[in-house]
Every structure is written in structure tokens, then in C-alpha cells.
Structure 1
């Protein structure tokens, strides 16, 4: 391996065995093996501004001497070679930070020699860092393709391991430690005086102009900023994005010119942009479709026929396809050249995922006992993303089956046909009996993060309520739901908010007579105190009213109830609010709920959640007062890849004798809200 590397390297440069490899008289090899002969050293910097933390970190990262400090050289000459290599690297780093006149020198002194007066340690980690007032160095002029960026340190070479002088070999005492001190004269930082564009059109004509304020903002540049390399280099791609947004899909960068004015200490940068032809969206080619219909995939495009090319439209289409839950990967991009009609073809390349899944879950509470559910789902039933979900669930409160169907892209983009039905048997303190319902409607997305669902619902119920006789209701009605959701995670949100407004008018079609309209508003807000979302303040609220018939004329299941794991933890299910003489909940025509949690992770997988919640249900359509029944508690969260496992312990603060238990326990998947 060593031979092959050396031979390959000899093509580019001479391979010196004497200087670089431990071949020869054997002295170098012996010195390398005798660790006690290595010269220990520390590294300091003098002349750096203590406020330049990023610069200091970059210097340390690019320093060969610092990187190899734990493998010191046996000779001072080896240390000098490391220092000389660092000087070259440091000048590049300083120039990349806008210090084009910077000068770096070094010296090596015995560690016993006291540091220069005024030196101050800047970093307790690793090497001592010292600072002195910087002074101006000689001017330097730069005119090239762009600011220099520092190169990373190369791997250690054997050039540091030179044979020590004979006196060092004869001496039995270990070498004394030394200090490698870099003296940095930063000079005056150069500022960006102007940013220009040289635009080369398809006919090869060109124009040069200063960038507009909007273009500077997009490129994250500002006149007068320090002329650092990274912002200037990264701005080039942002400049290209400006032209892509104007309909030039094949725009590319030409040469970049950077000119330094050493007298004024300024930098002027000129970006060359080769626009290519302006284009409109053309033919859409589908690649990778198997079970999903290609025309259905093509229908996800967010642009109109003949519309000028827009990268935002491409991004929106890619996002919508990815959120369809049909594909493992999605790529949407222009391909080929702009044709004679001024159109550019678009390629949608997809990789399909498995479209069938089964699953289930378990939950438990002291009031409800254990519960379980299982489901089967097909997300591409007829080849155009139709989703059918069948579900079974059972607990001490209810047992039943449900089905839901959703056909996306129904008649138009971002619109779906939805249908759902259920048949459930209830056994609660509020009511017991049978219920069956069905709903068919349209789900429509509009604006960003907003959607609405509206349609027709039918319902049959045969329930015995706590304050109503056993009556059969045949209801027909409408359902309208307005939603807003910009949270970052459905099971464990850390930022954003949710809102859902539901309006449902009902009237009797047969059986017992009733007519009413139910209105409710639910909302939640999430605020993260840190970037990782390990500390989150979460709050929720709910209000609702039923207009129309009196409470006694309403079906038991259509009244408002509160209490339990999904509303006010600490009280049994549905028991917050008015009760009859037997202590059973009778529900009401209005409801208020509020809750607050502090979600704090103590490790990556374990979190604690103190919470407080309150709520009440009222007989009238408007609450007579705003007195709430409060509860508090502490939760534990175990965070998994599919969401947090929730364990909550809650106690009622307004406990009622012979009605409320001392505490309630809840176990389920996902946050409480």
C-alpha cells in the first residue's frame, strides 16, 4: 500500500524518502518511537479581538499545530514546520473573515518564560489564548474570482518527525515544554462597498448594474457589511434564485469578480449571471409510477397551462406529492432545454411506498378501564390515492366499528371527497344504547394551513339518558368545519397553533322531534423555549353552545359534556358539569374548558409535564357564570419514533364528596392535546 501511494504521488511530485518516510540511518525511527524525546508545547494567540469568537474558532479548526498537539514533534524544526503551515492557513482564514491586510508571525519560547504583559486567557478549553491590541499590517490587493476560503488541515505527514540533534539523544532528561505563540496583526476589516450584476442575455448581449435593494435582501447582503467570504459566496446562489423566480429555469453563474481597494479598505463584488431563455411550464413526464396512476400524479401540478416557470410552484407541487403519503421519495424538476415554443419539460420522479398498513393501540384510565383499537388501511384503493380505513375499538365505555373513505384531487386540485360512518354501543354514566351515523362531504384546502369540510350527515340513536326517556331519534343535518393547523408534529407539537370551528344544524326526520344547531370552537397554542423543542408551553381552550330546543329535548349524545382524559383530567369521564340526583351527568347546552401544560424533557427520551386544567358545562345556551372546576397533575412522557407515550396522574381541586375520586390515571399514545 505504501509503495503504491508513493508511486502514484511521483506522477505529480518527487517522492522524498529521506524527508518524509522513516527510511535511512534509523535515527529518525528511533526518535519517533521514543515518546519521551518529544517536545511538549502549548499554543497561544496574541493580537486577536476577544469579540471575534467565530474567527478564533476557525483559526483553531484550521491549525495543524493545535490538531497535532497530542502528538508533539521530537525537534524544534518539526514544530516550526507546523507553525509555518499554520501561518499560511491563518492568513487564508483571516482573509475569509474580511481581514485582507492581516499579517501572522510566530515565535517559540520556553514555557518558563512569563507571558507578555497584558496577555489575557480567552478560552479555558484546550490551549491558552491571549489577546493584545491589534495593529495594522501591510496592505494587500486582491483581484480574482472571489474571497479566499480556508483549507482544512491536511492529515499529519512524517515530515514533522526529523532525527533529533545528537545532544538530544545523549541527554537523559526529557525536553522542556515550549509555547508556540502566533502574533496576529488583524489590520482593518474590509467592508462591502458595492455588489453588481453582469447579466448575460440569450442573445449574448450584457449589462452591468448595481444590485437592487430587493436583490440584496434576497442575497442576504448589505452595503457596508464586513466583506466575509461565506456570505459573498453563498449570495451567488440567491442571486440565481432571483432570476429563476423571474422565469429563467436554466440560469447559471458565470465568473465572479472581487476587487479590493486597499486605500479605502473596501471590497466590490460583481456576479456574472447567464440567464438562458425565459420559459413557461411545458410537458410533464412521470417517472417511477407503478400502482399509482400517472395522470393522477400529474394532476398535482400547481401551475396553470402556459404559466411562466416558477420554482415556488415546483416546490409546492413536490410538497403536495410528498404529503399524499403515497411515496417514499418525490423529485420535481425542470429537465432538458427550453423548446422553440418557450416551454421547458418538467419531470416528476417518484418512488412508491407500501400502500397497505395495519395497526392498533392501547389506552387505560382508572375511570374507563382498559381500551384497545385496531385498524386496516389502504391508501391507493383504486389507483388514484383513494384511502379506505376500517377500525374496531372497544373499552368499558363504548364498543364499535367505523369506516372512512377519502378520494383526493376530487374534481379539482386540493379538494377531496370524504365519507365516514360508524356503529357504536355506549355504556356511560350519561347515557347508554346504540348509535349509527354517516357523513358525506367535501374537504377543501385554501390559503396556507387552512382547510374546510362541509357536507350532509344522517344519524340514528336509541339512547337512554340520565334525564331523558328511551327515545329513538332520526336526525338529518349539515356539518361545516373550519380548521387551521400550522404545528410541526401531529402527535407532539412544539410550535404553532391549531383551531377548529364546527357548526352543525340538525332536525328530526322521524321519531322524537327536535331541532337545534351546535357550535363549538377548539384551539391550542404551542411555544418552544429552545430550538430543540425540549421545553414547550402548551395551552388549549374550548367553548361551545347549542341553539334551539331545551336540554331535555336534545338527544343525550348531542349535549356537551366535560371531564376525562381528553378534556379535564382528574375527573371521571363526562362528570364535570350538572348531575342528577343519582350523581349521573345530564350534559348541557354550553361548555367552557381551559388547560395549560409545561412539557420539559429531562433526557432525550424522558419528559415531565406538570399541568392544570379547568372546565364546566352549563344548562343554558349561555353560561350564567364562568366558574370552572379545576384539576392539576403531573405527567411522564416516554418519547418514541412514532410519538410520546403518555402517563398522567391528576387530582381534582374541586372534589365533590361521594362523586369524585381522589385521583385519576391515564395511559395512552400522544400528547393530551
Structure 2
């Protein structure tokens, strides 16, 4: 026994402890893994979504960076994938799909392509010691690197199954109805007879079915068990939806939670339904949207809070989180045409506790200095109707006229249709101005103002989609001079077309036209005439300098105006963009243009995009430069797009 313990093998052979070299080889064997590749074969390359879904659920693909230590480990991963793949095929409408897999060694590259053939006489000789590795050592080194494997899934998707029928089982409080879905219901559920039976539209169809029953006045409807029956002979499926409607209900009592500074009755007054009206989810969504647009709340939740009471009414809860009600702000701008400018404002959005908004502002530039006040009272007499009032006091010092003006307006603002609003009211104005053809004249005017607006753009400062339209009709009469009477009509519109989905490349166009009916130009107050030129109309020309001029090249204004312009807004990086543009326009002495000859300008703008809007820097040159009138170029700096 003692001699056995001292033999070459001894206890090391019995207990498995070899010498240092043997131990190192065994440890390397335990740590060795087999790299592999994954291929999916047999699927039409046009089925990109299906291929992406299969790759997304594949365990073998996901763990490819952590290969197994054996072929058996890779086989277990492949077997796990087969079940996952079957589920994906069914979700895409392939209920008869067949999946097999095979694991093969990766075929090495042709030796003739990688190395020259050896001389046959040297094939069996040992490597020269000077090369640093014997033939046996090279063989051992090669055997330590496992041959990579290729896992190939062979998938026969089979014939896709189509939807042959959609059946409904609707359990009402007093009856159960089993029937086929109507054509109108199929349209609302986004399902069609004959379409491929993929999982996503079938699942969504159930939620659309819930929405359909809610629109019929059942606020507590729930979906039951959904079944899908396959006909393997016809390769079709039948979908069976089950719903429990609960009782039909009318809108009931409203409870407001979270109101602190804002009056709860004012919040409840935003409900879009009449008392006792049958429940409809669209009314709930409208109320939530209107409350969110008041800018009084950080969040708004409007929901039914069942059960339905004995009167057939369901309570409604409105939960709000109020935001800060006061804000201040300001801005700076500069142009060679108008000089430097600054503005500031203070705003209170809940002055008396019911969403009353008061905004006070000041604007100062080298051409105009003014104070303004705006007031808006929502829910005035009717829901979604507001009382609006404003007043402005200005001192003017432009080439067209100098002096002071006061104006005020009071009226009603209300929405008409989606994205459409109207404003109508009375106005009173005073002006004491000195102009080229109206020296030292005072005017006291009273009038009406009617405005129709449309705006479905996606951003007030940087729109990329949608359009804006406004028509303004304002008749005036003199209070001291009864013979004075005229009507101004103006139409302004703009269109925005995004070339790409992200809105990085946008085509924008604008147009403006207007006319004054009833008085000759010389009998009109200087500030009521039309002018053009400058950063807000035709860049490249000085402020108010497009149109008729006197002998000193000062603007006279006109009774009609026409302007057009277009830009291409290209966002080159996340923070920087360029905007080439062209604009043209003219002002005419008569109420209708004598001709449509326009003064044109072109330029290039640069945009730096900030969190509140783009910072604009534009350079423009007049294409129809007039001697001794127009400069070689103009540039403008401000916040927001030009239009």
C-alpha cells in the first residue's frame, strides 16, 4: 500500500489531482466555449416585420455573445426558441408554421485561398526548432480552438390565415345578444373580413369594441373572454368577442378634487354635457381638453366614478393639480430697419378665482413706445365663451407719422368649430398724428371689430404642420366729424408643410391682402392706412418704406396692400438651422391695386433652437432696390420664426 502511494499515479490518479500541467488542461476544458452564428431561413425577405419579431424573441440570438460550452447547450437554446417562434408565427397569422433547426460546423474558407500548398516531400517532416514550434505543438494549439457552429432555423410559415367572421356576445342587464359585427362596427374596430389574422389588430379590436359600447351610453362596459377559432381546412379564423355592458347611464353629479385657488364651480362649469344628458366618452375627452387649455393646471383628470345610482346617473370626478398663476417675461429684438427693441409683461391667470386673465405689457423701441393691458373672462354667460377687453397707449416716431394714439376694444370671443374662433365687439380710438399729407390732425373714432380665425398648427413659435387664417372686418365712423366713415378689411394666411416626419425640413408660405373702403387716402388717419416693409412683412426693405413715398422719401401709406413670401426651413443639427427665403409686396393708393407689381427681396436666415423657440437672425437684400431709398441689405434678430 505504501509503495502504491509512492507510484507515479498514486493518490493523484485515484483522487483526480494530476500534476500542474494536467490540472491546467482540465481547467481550460471547463472554461472553453463554442462560438456560433444564427441564421433564419425559409421566410420571404419582404416579411421584414416577421423576421424582426423572430430575431427579437430568440434566446440564441440574444445570448450569442455568451456562447455555450457544448453543442448540447446550443441545442437547448434552439429548442427554447422553437416554442417562442411558434407564438410569433401565430401572432402574425401563420397558424400552420413548421420550424426545424440544425446545428453544423461552420465551413472553413478554402485552404487554397489562404495559403500556398506545401511541397509533398516536406509534408511529414517536423518543424525546424528555429521556427519556435514543433509540428506536434502546432497540432495541439489548433485542437485547443473549437470549431465555430452555425445554428440554422428552417421555417416554413405555411399559408396565412384570414379573418372569416367577427362575432359579438353582448351581455346587457336584461338580455344577451349574439350576432355578427356590423359593417360599421368592423370599420370602427379597424377589422376587415379577409384580412390576415394578426394578433395586434385582433387585440385592439376588443378595446375598440369597448369604446363602441361606451359611446352607446354604457360607461362601465368590460370585455369578457376573447376566443379565436381556426379552420385548418379553409385557413381562416373566427373571432368571438364577449362584452358585459353594465347599466346604461346619464351624466350625474360632478365632484372636483384638488382645487385650491381656482373656484370648484368654475371648474365644473367646463363640462361639455347638459344636465341629464346620456353618457358619452367624447364629452369626457372634450371637458378634459378644454380644462387643460386654460393654462391653470399642471394636470387634469376627468373620469366616471361608478356605480350607476338608482336614478340611472353615474357620478363624474374631476381631479386637478393647479399651476402657478402669475408669470413675468420679456424679450429683445434688433433690426437695421427698426433699431433695437425690448418688451416685458406681467400676467395673472386667475385674478378673481375663476380663470380671469390680466396681462400688462410695455414695448419700447426707437420707433414706438407703448403700454398695453389685456383682460379675458372665460365662461362669460355661456360655456366656452369669453369676455375680452384690451387697451393700448402708444407714442409713435416713424418716417410715416409722429404723435400719440389711444385705442380700446371690448367684445366676445368664442370657438365656432374645431380650430376656429371668432371675436366680435366695439372699439374706440383716438389719434393725434402728424404725417406727410395729414399735418396736425386729431381723430376720434368708434367702430366695430369682427375677426374670424383658424389655426391648426403644431407650435405657436415654430410651426411645422398646419395652417393659419384670419379675416378682420372693422367699420369706423368719426365721433366729432360725422362725415368720416370707412371700413378696413384684411386677410392673412400661412401654410406649413413638413417634408420629413420629424419636422426638420419645412416649406412655409404666407400671404396678406387688405383694402380700405369709404375714404380717400388723404382723409384717413395716418395709423389706419396700410404700410409694408420690415421684419414683419417684407424683409430687405426699411420699416413702412414699401409703397408710395413723398418727395422726401417718407411713406404715405395706402388703401390696399398685397404681400407674399416663402421660406425653406432646414434644421441642420439639433440646435442650428438655415432658412433661405423670398418675399414681395406693395402698397397702393387706391382701395384696389392699380396693378400687381411687387417689390421683391431675398435673404438667408439662421436659427438657433432654444427651449422656448428658435432665435432668429435674418439677412435680406432688396431685389428691386430704389436709388436713394433702399439700403444694400437689412438684418433682423428676434425670437420665433418670421411667420
TM-score, L = length of structure 1: 0.86
1:213 is matched with 183
1:507 aligned to 2:477?
yes
> How far did residue 74 of structure 1 move?
2.2
> How far did residue 38 of structure 1 move?
2.3
Describe the shift of the 1:32–1:566 C-alpha distance in structure 2 as closer, same or farther (beyond 3 A): farther
2:317 is matched with 347
Quick one: distance in 1 between partners of 2:491 and 2:64? Answer: 64
Match of 1:226, SS state, is coil
TM superposition outliers: structure 1 runs of 4+ over 2 Å = 26-34, 168-173, 510-514
Quick one: distance in 1 between partners of 2:97 and 2:195? Answer: 18
Quick one: distance in 2 between partners of 1:251 and 1:30? Answer: 64
Q: Is the 8 A contact 1:357 1:378 kept in 2?
A: yes
1:193 aligned to 2:168?
no
Quick one: distance in 1 between partners of 2:58 and 2:280? Answer: 45
1:53 is matched with 48
264, 267, 286: which one aligns with 1:316: 286
> How far did residue 511 of structure 1 move?
6.4
> How far did residue 50 of structure 1 move?
1.1
1:470 is matched with 440
1:109 aligned to 2:101?
no
1:176 aligned to 2:150?
no
> How far did residue 33 of structure 1 move?
8.4
1:417 is matched with 387
2:506 is matched with 536
2:550 is matched with 580
1:593 aligned to 2:593?
no
Quick one: distance in 2 between partners of 1:232 and 1:504? Answer: 56
Structure 1 residues 437-456: aligned runs within 5 Å: 437-456=407-426
Quick one: distance in 1 between partners of 2:612 and 2:332? Answer: 14
Quick one: distance in 2 between partners of 1:668 and 1:281? Answer: 49
Q: Is the 8 A contact 1:562 1:617 kept in 2?
A: yes
Q: Is the 8 A contact 1:280 1:308 kept in 2?
A: yes
1:565 aligned to 2:535?
yes
> How far did residue 81 of structure 1 move?
1.5
Quick one: distance in 1 between partners of 2:579 and 2:180? Answer: 55
> How far did residue 29 of structure 1 move?
11
Quick one: distance in 1 between partners of 2:180 and 2:616? Answer: 58
Quick one: distance in 2 between partners of 1:32 and 1:578? Answer: 95
Quick one: distance in 1 between partners of 2:256 and 2:140? Answer: 74
Describe the shift of the 1:27–1:222 C-alpha distance in structure 2 as closer, same or farther (beyond 3 A): farther
> How far did residue 514 of structure 1 move?
2.5
268, 275, 280: which one aligns with 2:250: 280
571, 587, 590: which one aligns with 1:620: 590
Quick one: distance in 2 between partners of 1:30 and 1:668? Answer: 71
Quick one: distance in 2 between partners of 1:412 and 1:530? Answer: 42
Describe the shift of the 1:30–1:397 C-alpha distance in structure 2 as closer, same or farther (beyond 3 A): farther
Quick one: distance in 2 between partners of 1:625 and 1:453? Answer: 33
1:384 aligned to 2:354?
yes
Match of 1:469, SS state, is coil
67, 75, 83: which one aligns with 2:78: 83
Describe the shift of the 1:39–1:336 C-alpha distance in structure 2 as closer, same or farther (beyond 3 A): same
> How far did residue 31 of structure 1 move?
5.7
2:237 is matched with 267
2:60 is matched with 65
> How far did residue 27 of structure 1 move?
10
Match of 1:241, SS state, is helix
Describe the shift of the 1:345–1:84 C-alpha distance in structure 2 as closer, same or farther (beyond 3 A): same
Describe the shift of the 1:312–1:33 C-alpha distance in structure 2 as closer, same or farther (beyond 3 A): farther
Describe the shift of the 1:498–1:43 C-alpha distance in structure 2 as closer, same or farther (beyond 3 A): same
> How far did residue 240 of structure 1 move?
0.5
CA RMSD of aligned residues (A): 1.9
5+ long unaligned stretches in structure 1: 1-25, 116-167
Deviations 1:594-631 (A, max 9, x none): 01111111112211111111100000011010011111
Describe the shift of the 1:169–1:193 C-alpha distance in structure 2 as closer, same or farther (beyond 3 A): farther
Deviations 1:74-130 (A, max 9, x none): 221221121111111111111111111111111111221799xxxxxxxxxxxxxxx
2:308 is matched with 338
1:297 aligned to 2:234?
no
Q: Is the 8 A contact 1:473 1:513 kept in 2?
A: no
Match of 1:79, SS state, is helix
TM-score, L = length of structure 2: 0.90
Deviations 1:548-588 (A, max 9, x none): 11000100000000011111111011001110010011000
1:129 is matched with none
> How far did residue 342 of structure 1 move?
0.8
Q: Which has the larger radius of gyration?
A: 2
Quick one: distance in 1 between partners of 2:341 and 2:483? Answer: 35
Quick one: distance in 1 between partners of 2:465 and 2:193? Answer: 35
Match of 2:540, SS state, is coil
Match of 1:539, SS state, is strand
Quick one: distance in 2 between partners of 1:549 and 1:555? Answer: 10
634, 638, 642: which one aligns with 1:668: 638
Q: Is the 8 A contact 1:473 1:512 kept in 2?
A: no
Quick one: distance in 2 between partners of 1:27 and 1:233? Answer: 57
Match of 2:480, SS state, is strand
> How far did residue 171 of structure 1 move?
7.0
1:43 is matched with 38
Q: Is the 8 A contact 1:101 1:188 kept in 2?
A: yes
Alignment: residue pair count? 593
Describe the shift of the 1:105–1:553 C-alpha distance in structure 2 as closer, same or farther (beyond 3 A): same
Q: Is the 8 A contact 1:400 1:424 kept in 2?
A: yes
5+ long unaligned stretches in structure 2: 1-22, 111-138
> How far did residue 510 of structure 1 move?
2.2
